[in-house]
Amino acid sequence: MTLTASPTHTAAVARLGHALSDSTRASILLALREEPAYPSDLAEQLGVSRQLLSNHLACLRGCGLVESIQDGRRSRYQLADPHLVPALDALLQVVLVVEPDCCDGEGCTC
């Protein structure tokens, strides 16, 4: 069954696309599909500073993709919607053929 895409659906896919356009944000989403995590643990797991991780988590919260859950004096992060787990799993199955001269970083012309 194929759903008809409403403007709300289109906006949600665009937010997901924005989140996935950065490798750190994509790594955060993929890590959180396994289980909720504390920012300090995520920063260590991904090898980034806590400040950088905090900035990316703020972006992902703003996109509505993750949520913060208070756990005493700490906050734990998890995916905001359980549908994201199978969606991210499906994206891991996608194989892309990339033209080597097309997508070479910031000057991408694709």
Per-residue pLDDT at 110: 61
| Predicted local distance difference test score (pLDDT) of residue 62 | 93
pLDDT recorded at residue 2: 73
How high is the pLDDT of residue 105? 64
Question: What DSSP string runs through 51-86?
Answer: HHHHHHHHHHHHTTSEEEEEETTEEEEEES-TTHHH
pLDDT confidence of residue 103: 66
Q: Is 37 helix (H, G, I), strand (E, B) or coil?
A: strand
Q: Which residues of the chain have pLDDT under 50?
A: none
What's residue 47's pLDDT? 97
